[in-house]
Chain A
Amino acid sequence: MIVTPALAAIIFVAGAVAGALGALLGLGGGIFLVPLLNLGLGFPIGIAAAISLATVIATSSAVTAGKAGQHLMNFRLGMVLEVATAAGSVLGGITAQFVSQAVLQRLFAGVTAVVAIVTVARSNRRNVITDLLADPGLLGGRFFDHEHQRDIVYRIRNLPLALGASFVAGNVSSLLGIGGGVIKVPVLNAWCGMPLRAAAATSAFMIGVTATGGAIIYYGNGQLPPVAAAAAILGVQLGSHTGLRLSPKVHVRHLKLLLAAILGVVSTLMLVKGMR
Chain B
Amino acid sequence: MKPGDSQLEVLIGRTLRIGVVASTVCLAVGLVVALVQPHSSPWLLNAGVLLLIATPAARVVLSIVEYAIARDRVFLVLTSIVLLELVGGAIAALVFHRKI
Question: Is B69 part of the contact surface with A, judged by Cβ < 8 Å?
Answer: no
**How many A residues are at the interface, by size bracket?**
35 or more
Q: Does B94 contact A (CB under 8 A)?
A: yes
Report the separation of the CA atoms of residues A273 and B20 in the bound assembly, to the nearest whole angstrom: 35
Binds B, one of A35-43, A76-84, A126-134: A76-84
Q: A90 — which chain B residues lie within 8 A by C-beta?
A: 85-86, 88-89, 92
Q: How far is the CB of A151 from chain B (nearest CB, A)?
A: 13
For window 1-51 of chain B, which residues contact chain A by CB distance below 8 Å?
1-2, 5-6, 8-10, 12-14, 16-17, 19-20, 23-24, 27-28, 30-31, 34-35, 38, 42, 45-46, 48-49
Are A217 and B53 closer than 8 Å at their CB atoms? Answer: no
Q: A61-B56, A75-B5, A220-B97 are in contact. Are A94 and B92 (CB under 8 A)?
A: yes
B53 touching A79, Cβ below 8 Å: no
Interface contacts (Cβ under 8 Å), in number, total: 172
Count class of interface residues, chain B: 35 or more
Q: How far is the CB of B18 from chain A (nearest CB, A)?
A: 9
Contacting residues of chain A (76-98) with chain B, CB-CB under 8 angstroms: 76, 79-80, 82-83, 86-87, 89-90, 93-94, 97
**Extra inter-chain contacts (10) besides given A75-B8, A230-B30, CB under 8 Å:** A58-B24, A65-B13, A68-B9, A68-B12, A75-B12, A79-B75, A220-B93, A220-B96, A226-B45, A226-B49
